[in-house]
Amino acid sequence: MHIDQSVEFDRITKIYRTGLLGRRKIHALRGVSLAIPAGSVFGLLGPNRAGKTTLVKILLSICHATSGSVQRLGRPGAVRSTLAQVGYLHESQAFPRYLTATGLLEYYGALTGVPATELRTRIPRLLERVGLADRTCEPISGFSKGMVQRLALAQALVNEPELLVLDEPTEGMDLVARQLLHEVIRRRQQQGRTAILVSHSLADVEQLCDRVAVLRGGELAFTGTLSELAGDESAGHLEQALEPLYAGAAP
């Protein structure tokens, strides 16, 4: 099935209730509408507490919007079967430390419905690709942070997802792993697959993203191409363009 938009958020609002008897309301998102084209690398930017993580959680059905709706890969967000076509790379991994790299990928592959026969050939290729072919049978407890990030990338790719969601993916990565991640994202885009990059690294955003959205205070402050945001300039100009958006002034 061909789709024009990999993700569509329609007037998403999220309110958290805190305090005694939940009387205090925190508006994490306020009517966010956003479309992410299929086959694009889309940057999601904003200061801390802007609502980026909440929006990603709603996309992944980790939490539900208070109001509004989301379409994921052409289907309503409530259709959870589409999650098997999504890969997610979180900035902080919480993998079971007793598992081996192979065991972890077998587990996540099974969760997303990849047949065991396919995993037997796919997992060695993935571990070779991320530079862990010689550590396949070692427990994750012996891995460095950089190695865990490489393994996390393999985990996010084990189901060959149509949509890849990356939350601060280069945090803790060495230069080689960062270059590998960029190659993976570009190759996937050539295949018509979509990636969402949540990042504070403007260098990564500039090198990879076609379009970006900026959230501020739970609201959409900007959406468009990088040239529309800052012109065909350097990272310094992009940083300057983002400063007033982050501060709440007009761009």
| Residues 230-239 pLDDT 10s | 765 555 578 8
pLDDT band at 94 (very low <50, low <70, confident <90, very high): confident
Tell me the two tokens of residue 55. Answer: 């929006």
Classified by CATH at the fold level, domain 5-247 comes out as Rossmann fold (3.40.50)
In the chain, what percentage of residues exceed pLDDT 70? 95
Mean pLDDT, residues 4-27: 88
The whole-number pLDDT of residue 39 equals 94
Mean pLDDT, residues 198-218: 91
> What residue segments make up the domains of the chain, in order of their start?
5-247
Distances from the Cα of 1 to the Cα of 29, 73, 101, 193, angstroms = 31, 10, 34, 13
Contacts of 42 (CB under 8 A, 6+ apart): 36, 194, 195, 196, 197, 209, 210, 211, 212, 213
Q: Is the pLDDT of residue 249 over 80?
A: no
The whole-number pLDDT of residue 101 equals 95
The whole-number pLDDT of residue 164 equals 97
In the chain, what percentage of residues exceed pLDDT 90? 69
Q: Is the pLDDT of residue 165 over 90?
A: yes
Mean pLDDT, residues 114-136: 94
SS3 assignment for 73-129: CCEECCCHHHHHHEEEECCCCCCCCCCEHHHHHHHHHHHCCCCHHHHHHHHHHHHHH
pLDDT band at 240 (very low <50, low <70, confident <90, very high): confident
Q: Is the pLDDT of residue 250 over 50?
A: no
Distance CA 167, CA 156 (A): 11
130-144, 173-187, 221-235: range with lowest mean pLDDT: 221-235
Q: Tell me, yes or no, if the pTM score tops 0.85.
A: yes
| Residues 65-75 pLDDT 10s | 999 999 999 99
pLDDT band at 32 (very low <50, low <70, confident <90, very high): very high
pLDDT band at 219 (very low <50, low <70, confident <90, very high): very high
The whole-number pLDDT of residue 170 equals 83
Contacts of 241 (CB under 8 A, 6+ apart): 229, 230, 251
pLDDT band at 9 (very low <50, low <70, confident <90, very high): very high
Beta bridge partners of 5: 37
CB 132 within 8 A of CB 126: no
CB 8 within 8 A of CB 82: no
**Mean per-residue pLDDT over the chain, rounded:** 90
The whole-number pLDDT of residue 200 equals 87
Mean pLDDT, residues 198-222: 92
